[in-house]
Amino acid sequence: MAKLVPPHGGKGLTTCLLEGAELEAEKKKAEGLKKVEVSPRVKGDLIMIGIGGFSPLTGFMTKADWKGVVDSCLLADGTFWPVPVCLDVTKEDAADINVGDEIALYDPEGDEIMATMQITEKFEMTDADKTYECEKVFMGEGTPTAEEFWKIAKEDHPGVQMVMGQKEVNLAGPVKVLSEGEYPTKYAGIYHRPAESRKIFENAGWSEVAALQLRNPMHRSHEYLCKIAVEVCDGVYIHSLVGNLKPGDIPAEVRVKCIDSLVKNYFVEENVVQGGYPLDMRYAGPREGLLHAVFRQNYGCSKMIIGRDHSGVGDFYGMFEAQTIFDKIPTPAEEGKALVCTPLKIDWTFYCYKCDGMASLRTCPHTKEDRVLLSGTMLRKMLSEGGELPDHFGRDEVVAILRDYYEGLTEKVEIKTHKAATGD
Ligand SMILES: [Zn+2]
């Protein structure tokens, strides 16, 4: 029988989401615990830990984990892991929390307790620590020196702003997750737990599954990437971010509608599955590409589609840095500790008039003038300004959905483009 790729870490899916009587008992207990407010990023991380999306993690990282991950993409036990997953709290909150205590993690937005946590370690995150993390995790080929990086990072890099804005103390320890927030109801049918996506793939008889990461509306280039993957795998999992984005990004429900319409009109429906995941973007470019591969492996995908400037922001990363990083990561020998999901690296794709179809830099010999350069950022910019789109930029059905959305907006948002979006 066909077999899916095993979850990362060699321990199966490590879920910490409670259900039934156990959940009710833990909820009751949580009411009596000290409550600590969590950020939207931590909320997403908690849900991923809860449903096994972050297997083998079962809680927030220790100082040794943090250091190992930041320095060399390895947890303290030698398992591959590309970005820190830490819980930050204020000095005031930390003052009366001690190792051995249990606390409740409270989401102010949803007004509910998301999880309980057993504290195993408490460590300070100084500005120097945060600066170090930013330089190791976010500095790419676009800003190869710390000086160039910091000149623009504080203003223009949302990931850096998030890390530098973290509170002063980190708490480590295992969690018991009590809620998946609004995701199961708001995105019913789209939001999957890894065990669910695995079941869907198994029922379809798939073993080689490629994941397409989406945070922008699906345009012609995404469709092309997806179709290349369909040709060489058993199926494709179109996996959209339904967590928080930055201002100006298009809400998940609109993006989901676009994907539905594309799949219905332009795909063999049996060969694709659409899903959503609850994380926020970290804008960590290459490192985030690795994280995407780690959790897609947990969702049952053996391949991760990595195109141009994957998870990039501004001009911080090299166009194909998120592809080449896969060739440089540590590959621990111990069973399960190395990343198994491999990248499906695809060059810059576009519509070419002379080729009379979609092509990439590897297949099309023509010039820039013959090509319609497609980027989600450009698409959003042109739509938000109400302009006409060039032919072949997007599928009519998708453009119509996006036009509707932009016409309904009361406040126009300015969308910044960068070098990549202009094709220079
Ligand atoms: Zn061409």
pLDDT in single tens digits along all 424 residues of the chain:
569 999 999 999 999 999 999 999 999 999 999 999 999 999 999 999 999 999 999 999 999 999 999 999 999 999 999 999 999 999 999 999 999 999 999 999 999 999 999 999 999 999 999 999 999 999 999 998 999 999 999 888 989 999 999 999 999 999 999 999 999 999 999 999 999 999 999 999 999 999 999 888 888 889 999 999 999 999 999 999 987 766 777 888 999 999 999 999 999 999 999 999 999 888 888 999 999 999 999 999 999 999 888 888 888 988 899 999 999 999 999 999 999 999 999 998 999 999 999 999 999 999 999 998 766 677 777 887 877 787 887 899 998 998 899 888 876 555 555 444 333 3
Q: Percent of the chain at pLDDT above 90?
A: 75
pLDDT given at position 361: 92
Q: What CA–CA distances, in Å, run from 63 to 70, 122, 125, 160?
A: 10, 8, 9, 19
How far is ligand 1, taken at its centre, from the CA of residue 367, in Å?
7
How far is ligand 1, taken at its centre, from the CA of residue 255, in Å?
29
β partners of residue 372: 351
pLDDT given at position 302: 98
pLDDT given at position 417: 52
> First vs last Cα of the chain: how many Å apart?
48
343, 331 in Cβ contact below 8 A? no
How far is ligand 1, taken at its centre, from the CA of residue 240, in Å?
30
How far is ligand 1, taken at its centre, from the CA of residue 313, in Å?
28
pLDDT given at position 1: 56
pTM of the model: 0.93
Which of 216, 220, 296, 308 is catalytic? The answer is 216
Sign of CA dihedral 201, 208, 47, 77: positive
Does residue 255 have an active-site annotation? Answer: no
pLDDT given at position 314: 81
How far is ligand 1, taken at its centre, from the CA of residue 224, in Å?
15
Q: How many residues does the chain have?
A: 424
pLDDT given at position 394: 83
206-216 per-position pLDDT tens digit: 999 999 998 88
Fill in the DSSP letter of residue 17: B
How far is ligand 1, taken at its centre, from the CA of residue 374, in Å?
14
Q: Is 226 exposed, middle or buried (0-12, 13-18, 19+ CB in 10 A)?
A: buried
CA 90 to mean position of chain CA atoms: 26
How far is ligand 1, taken at its centre, from the CA of residue 340, in Å?
35
Buried b (16+ CB within 10 A) or exposed e, 147-175: eebbeebeeebebbebbeebbbbbbbbbb
pLDDT given at position 406: 87
How far is ligand 1, taken at its centre, from the CA of residue 372, in Å?
10
How far is ligand 1, taken at its centre, from the CA of residue 361, in Å?
9
Of 152, 159, 151, nearest in space to 133 by CA: 159
Does residue 203 have an active-site annotation? Answer: no
What's the CA gap between 55 and 297, in Å, rounded? Answer: 9
pLDDT given at position 421: 38
